[in-house]
A and B are shown apart, each in its own frame.
Chain A
Amino acid sequence: MYRNVKTAELVSLKIDGTEISVPPDTSVIEAAEAVGVLVPRYCYHPGIPTRPAQCRVCLVEIEGQPKLQPSCKMSVQEGMVVHTASEEARSARRSVIELLLVNHPLDCPICDAAGQCMLQDYAFETHQLASRLNEEKLVMGRDRIADDILYFADRCIICTRCVRFMREVAEDDALIVAQRGYRAYIDTFPGRVLDNPFRGNIVDVCPVGALVHEDFLFKARFWDLDQTASVCPGCSTGCNVTIDTKENQIVRLKPRHNSEVNSYWMCDHGRKHLIMSNRGLRPEAPLLRRNGKLVPTGWGDALTWVAERLREVPSGMAIVSPHAANESLFYFRRLLDRIGIAGGTFRVERGEEAILSGFPKLQLRADRAPNASGAELHGFERFDGSARSDPEGDAVAVLEDPLAELPEEWGRQASFFLYVGNRLSSAARNAHAILPVTTFAEMEGTFTNFEGRVQRFHQALQPAGLARPAWLVLARLVSLLEDDGDGGAAAPTLASEAFQVMVGDTPAMAGLEWASVGLKGARLGSTEAAVLQAQAPVEGA
């Protein structure tokens, strides 16, 4: 916000007794945030351009102004003195909340937004625990506003954030305010359907429980959710997200602000995609083929056995997944180098693209995987064929690719078939050894997005059974293979260690630090990013 602004161009003002200097086009509400004062807001949203100043909850006192002024609309001025909590400002705020509650159903016990509702918050903040209302409330009912989004008109406070998001950010005028005054409600324009691929954001911008995802409806109370900072694996954009989990299940994804990647938004494909990952059959213990049968084993035995077998591998092929973390791909490459398998391919699922017009950087990209760039960086090649050929008598090593589209007998003839993954498809069951690894949601690590931005994700779920992060398993294997009686090099035990080893050994990643990648990510050196972009496939190729 303050970058590239010379001190001389700053405007100084005083907010609640604190002096601050900010750029001249800053609004009072933003300047107040900078001094740590959160002025209540409904219609104002930092990601939506227009500021109608209609909710009137952000009214503040500005010395010299005859009336209270909406702080979202007022630009700072030199010498301005603002009081956000004066007697009059507080009284106005209190009255807005009281009036909003006049026709509000107060159905918090069954409302999905309870616990993260700005109406609830401000009602408590302004101590409105009793009502003066003695009249019947207006009942408006609810509506299905999109395929997957419900609209509870009674809870709606007509802040119009949803309408303005659609109109100004998604540039789709499917949503409107219908009727006027106390009868106003949000609706789709007659004859229009709200099917925009970014429509889910209207639920996020809703400050109350008026817009609710049907997927999430009555699923969880907000206070029962655990929230983890992560990266959306739905496509190569790598939107920053928060994964909300309950009882070790992902219940929803919410976008997490990152002005370099996704602003405040994400697409609907991303939201739905990950919830599906709760499903599917997971291997929960290492499985080794003994006498033709897969037998569960402990990790120690399994790794020793696999290391022994790998020493005998003469040649073979490798398959990886663009869903694997950078660290896993790095150690897989090390393992392949060690056993003498060169190359390796990955398959990326492709889909239709969509662009968020108001923030064009955010696109649902054709590559429906988070780390194709990472796989390329570690020397794996894109596989565009329809079906992979059978390894026949060769050896084959697979990292996280579910092999779902392959025939049942695929790999049965292989001299050695190592499957390091987290899904048990019928082809995967032909492996000689199945080493269960975590999904990205069950581990820490990094992805590299389409433009070479390395972004960290955190562990949101407990791993399934004995599953361990792939980099941990692979690093141990490498270390066993390197063991010439002296125990081999120590394998990393923390994601941060694995990351630093990878950075040290990957020239393209030089300079990256685990800590500085932080929650917002960091770009690879610009030349490398340019190379990656040049390698990105052309649509239709």
Chain B
Amino acid sequence: MAYPYRDDRETTTLLSRYMGEPEARTLDGWLERGGYEALGMALEMKPDEITEIVKESGLRGRGGAGFPTGMKWGFMPKENGREHYLCCNADESEPGAFKDREIMRWTPHLMIEGCLIAARAIRAEHVYIYIRGEFFPVVRVLNQAVVEAYEAGYIGRSVLGSGWSCDITVHLGAGAYIAGEETGLMSWLMGGRAEPWMKPPFPAARGIFGAPTTVNNVETLASVPGIVANGSAWYRQWGSDKSSGTKLWCCSGHLVKPGNYELELGVPLSEIIYDVCGGAPDGRRVRAVIPGGSSTALLTADELDCETTYEGMQAAGSALGTASPIVMDESTCLLSAMRRIAQFYAHESCGQCVQCREGTEWIAKILRRIEDGDGAMKDIDTLYDLCEQLTGRTICVLADSVVFPLRSSLDKFRDEYESHIQQDACTAT
């Protein structure tokens, strides 16, 4: 039986194909399934050839921002004067996302292979896998896989006799959302607080230990072996011109069948929510969806026909983000949901920038007060104004992350706020 809720429909499964098969975790099981073939091919290529294939494939970063992966690798300096580093971002701290955890839990070697190919492409000889500390069982699986791969010579001195060496270090986090931000992650890796820094310097110029560094998401790296093995045209058969390939969708909330689904990019969001996940349970209606993890603008039930590509979601006024729709049906108080989201961001702000440190907390307090029935209509203006103040003025985008859902909820569900303020009553059923 396949991994949870696999749909019978014709879906493409590059990443989730072996999820649910415990044998795929072991090196032997992985080799039986064609593992490390792509690495062998990559070792035959020049680093720039790998980068070129990935560039042509149109693969975009799966961590949320959707930056073209090949282009990111291309920023790394070509000369070998200084050591280079690859960081695999396995923090997966975005509320709603649980795809990286599954990749590492079921197919750790897929990710390791991806890390090695990427390291080869950017001329790195050391990979740091920064993994969220709470993922304890996953860490155990991953560590086991790393040990096996070391023993079999896939990692370490002269990988598969190619003369190119690469080490992998698994580094556990201590629980901070902001350690998932690339500069925050690097600060943490260097032993500091997980505090993002102002770019420039960009990681490709000056990352960890002052050396050129690339930070990639787990899912991005896990997509790489398939692309290298089968070519960029193969990968481009899925998705759109600007958003190629497949994507894991972490569907949660009020759904009949929540879970991870791997789908071609571009499937309408409504199809994912209603057809794949079965819509809201008990015949209730969907009220709102936050499509890309908690930091994206929410969509109403009427707006779900959008195409799930990076550009399509943007056109719909939201973002693909980590492709983690949180579905809220009509029993949900959106004010409450927004308050909880604001609280999360207030709790997770690293505290450097004033707007973020004080603003997120103030927003949470205002929402709490409205929820408690002490709101006033001018609070809505204050919230709008705070949205304005928190946008684009901070080092990283954590402050913006609370603004997207909040502003969209104010725009689209103003009645909810007004009802709480004027009647101390919720519009949820």
Residue ranges of A at the interface with B (Cβ–Cβ < 8 Å):
52-57, 59, 67-68, 70, 73, 91-92, 95-96, 99-100, 102-103, 132-136, 138, 157-158, 177, 179-184
Contacts of B356 in A (CB 8 A): 181
Also in contact, A56 and B353, with CB within 8 A (given A67-B393, A180-B176): yes
Distance to closest chain A CB from B355 (angstroms): 6
Interface CB pairs A-B, < 8 A, 14: A53-B198, A54-B353, A54-B354, A67-B393, A68-B392, A102-B358, A102-B362, A134-B376, A136-B365, A180-B193, A180-B351, A181-B347, A181-B351, A181-B357
- Whether A55 and B354, one on each chain, are in contact in the complex, defined by CB atoms closer than 8 angstroms, is yes
Total B residues in contact with A, Cβ cutoff 8 Å:
34
Also in contact, A134 and B369, with CB within 8 A (given A181-B348, A181-B360): yes
- Whether A92 and B362, one on each chain, are in contact in the complex, defined by CB atoms closer than 8 angstroms, is no
- Whether A135 and B362, one on each chain, are in contact in the complex, defined by CB atoms closer than 8 angstroms, is yes
Contacts of B193 in A (CB 8 A): 177, 180
Whether B155 is near chain A, meaning CB under 8 Å from some CB there, is no
Distance, CA A99 to CA B382, complexed state (A): 12
Contacts of A102 in B (CB 8 A): 358, 361-362
Distance, CA A52 to CA B199, complexed state (A): 11
- Whether A135 and B353, one on each chain, are in contact in the complex, defined by CB atoms closer than 8 angstroms, is no
Distance, CA A398 to CA B392, complexed state (A): 70
Distance to closest chain A CB from B185 (angstroms): 15
Distance, CA A135 to CA B339, complexed state (A): 15
Contacts of B3 in A (CB 8 A): none
Whether B359 is near chain A, meaning CB under 8 Å from some CB there, is yes
- Whether A57 and B349, one on each chain, are in contact in the complex, defined by CB atoms closer than 8 angstroms, is no
- Whether B197 and A52, one on each chain, are in contact in the complex, defined by CB atoms closer than 8 angstroms, is yes
Contacts of A53 in B (CB 8 A): 198, 395
Also in contact, A133 and B362, with CB within 8 A (given A54-B395, A56-B354, A99-B354): yes
Interface string of B312-333 (1 = CB under 8 A from A): 0000000000000000000000
Which of chain B's residues has its CB closest to A135's CB?
B365
- Whether A182 and B349, one on each chain, are in contact in the complex, defined by CB atoms closer than 8 angstroms, is yes
Whether B350 is near chain A, meaning CB under 8 Å from some CB there, is yes
Which of chain B's residues has its CB closest to A134's CB?
B369
Taking each of A67, A92, A99, A102, which has the highest tally of chain B beta carbons within 10 Å of its own beta carbon? A99
Distance, CA A132 to CA B360, complexed state (A): 15
- Whether A184 and B393, one on each chain, are in contact in the complex, defined by CB atoms closer than 8 angstroms, is no
Distance, CA A55 to CA B347, complexed state (A): 19
- Whether A182 and B357, one on each chain, are in contact in the complex, defined by CB atoms closer than 8 angstroms, is yes
Distance, CA A103 to CA B357, complexed state (A): 11
- Whether A73 and B349, one on each chain, are in contact in the complex, defined by CB atoms closer than 8 angstroms, is no
Distance to closest chain B CB from A41 (angstroms): 13
Interface contacts beyond A54-B353, A57-B354, A183-B351: sample of 4 additional A-B pairs, CB < 8 Å, sorted by A = A53-B198, A99-B359, A180-B176, A180-B348
Whether B346 is near chain A, meaning CB under 8 Å from some CB there, is yes
Contacts of B353 in A (CB 8 A): 54-56
Also in contact, A99 and B362, with CB within 8 A (given A52-B197, A67-B392, A180-B193): yes
Contacts of B389 in A (CB 8 A): 91-92, 95, 99
Also in contact, A56 and B393, with CB within 8 A (given A99-B354, A135-B365): yes
The majority secondary structure among interface residues of chain A is: loop
Distance, CA A70 to CA B392, complexed state (A): 12
Distance, CA A135 to CA B395, complexed state (A): 27
Distance, CA A192 to CA B395, complexed state (A): 31
Whether B352 is near chain A, meaning CB under 8 Å from some CB there, is yes
Whether B394 is near chain A, meaning CB under 8 Å from some CB there, is yes
Which of chain A's residues has its CB closest to B359's CB?
A99
Contacts of B392 in A (CB 8 A): 67-68
Whether B366 is near chain A, meaning CB under 8 Å from some CB there, is yes
Contacts of A67 in B (CB 8 A): 392-393
Taking each of A92, A100, A135, A181, which has the highest tally of chain B beta carbons within 10 Å of its own beta carbon? A181
Contacts of B382 in A (CB 8 A): 132
Distance, CA A68 to CA B376, complexed state (A): 32
- Whether B350 and A99, one on each chain, are in contact in the complex, defined by CB atoms closer than 8 angstroms, is no
Also in contact, A52 and B369, with CB within 8 A (given A133-B362, A177-B351): no
Taking each of B351, B354, B355, B357, which has the highest tally of chain A beta carbons within 10 Å of its own beta carbon? B354
**Of the candidates B195, B347, B358, which one forms a contact with A103 in the assembled complex, judged by CB atoms under 8 Å apart?**
B358
Contacts of B347 in A (CB 8 A): 181
Contacts of A92 in B (CB 8 A): 389, 393
**Of the candidates A57, A70, A96, which one forms a contact with B198 in the assembled complex, judged by CB atoms under 8 Å apart?**
A70
- Whether A56 and B361, one on each chain, are in contact in the complex, defined by CB atoms closer than 8 angstroms, is no
- Whether A99 and B366, one on each chain, are in contact in the complex, defined by CB atoms closer than 8 angstroms, is no
Distance, CA A538 to CA B313, complexed state (A): 75
Q: 6 smallest A-B Cβ distances: which pairs? A: A54-B352, A99-B358, A184-B351, A181-B349, A95-B389, A182-B361
Distance, CA A182 to CA B350, complexed state (A): 8
Which B176-213 residues have C-beta < 8 A from chain A?
176, 178, 193, 195, 197-198
Distance, CA A52 to CA B392, complexed state (A): 17
Distance to closest chain A CB from B406 (angstroms): 16
Which of chain A's residues has its CB closest to B366's CB?
A135
Which B377-401 residues have C-beta < 8 A from chain A?
379, 382, 389, 392-395
Distance to closest chain A CB from B293 (angstroms): 19
Which of chain B's residues has its CB closest to A133's CB?
B362
Distance to closest chain B CB from A60 (angstroms): 12
Distance, CA A102 to CA B376, complexed state (A): 18
Contacts of B361 in A (CB 8 A): 102-103, 138, 181-182
Distance to closest chain A CB from B42 (angstroms): 37
Distance, CA A91 to CA B389, complexed state (A): 8
Contacts of A132 in B (CB 8 A): 382
Also in contact, A180 and B393, with CB within 8 A (given A102-B358, A135-B366): no
Distance to closest chain B CB from A120 (angstroms): 16
Also in contact, A99 and B351, with CB within 8 A (given A59-B393, A67-B393, A92-B393): no
**Of the candidates B198, B350, B359, B379, which one forms a contact with A180 in the assembled complex, judged by CB atoms under 8 Å apart?**
B350
Distance, CA A531 to CA B197, complexed state (A): 49
Interface string of B110-139 (1 = CB under 8 A from A): 000000000000000000000000000000
Distance, CA A180 to CA B347, complexed state (A): 8
Contacts of B365 in A (CB 8 A): 135-136
Which of chain A's residues has its CB closest to B381's CB?
A132
- Whether B350 and A56, one on each chain, are in contact in the complex, defined by CB atoms closer than 8 angstroms, is no
Contacts of A100 in B (CB 8 A): 354, 358
Contacts of A182 in B (CB 8 A): 346, 349, 351, 357-358, 360-361
- Whether B354 and A184, one on each chain, are in contact in the complex, defined by CB atoms closer than 8 angstroms, is no
- Whether B395 and A180, one on each chain, are in contact in the complex, defined by CB atoms closer than 8 angstroms, is no
Distance to closest chain A CB from B389 (angstroms): 4
Which of chain B's residues has its CB closest to A96's CB?
B354
Which of chain B's residues has its CB closest to A53's CB?
B198
Contacts of A59 in B (CB 8 A): 393
Distance, CA A96 to CA B353, complexed state (A): 9
Distance, CA A183 to CA B361, complexed state (A): 10
Which of chain A's residues has its CB closest to B352's CB?
A54
- Whether B198 and A95, one on each chain, are in contact in the complex, defined by CB atoms closer than 8 angstroms, is no
Contacts of B176 in A (CB 8 A): 180
Contacts of B379 in A (CB 8 A): 134
- Whether A52 and B352, one on each chain, are in contact in the complex, defined by CB atoms closer than 8 angstroms, is yes
Contacts of A54 in B (CB 8 A): 352-354, 395
Also in contact, A56 and B369, with CB within 8 A (given A68-B393, A95-B389): no
Distance, CA A181 to CA B360, complexed state (A): 9
Distance, CA A38 to CA B11, complexed state (A): 61
Contacts of B197 in A (CB 8 A): 52
Distance to closest chain B CB from A338 (angstroms): 67
Which of chain A's residues has its CB closest to B348's CB?
A181
Contacts of B346 in A (CB 8 A): 181-182
Contacts of A179 in B (CB 8 A): 351
- Whether A52 and B358, one on each chain, are in contact in the complex, defined by CB atoms closer than 8 angstroms, is no
Which of chain A's residues has its CB closest to B382's CB?
A132
Taking each of B195, B350, B358, B366, which has the highest tally of chain A beta carbons within 10 Å of its own beta carbon? B358
Contacts of A99 in B (CB 8 A): 354-355, 357-359, 362, 389
Distance, CA A138 to CA B351, complexed state (A): 15
Distance, CA A520 to CA B355, complexed state (A): 40
Also in contact, A96 and B355, with CB within 8 A (given A70-B198, A73-B198, A181-B347): yes
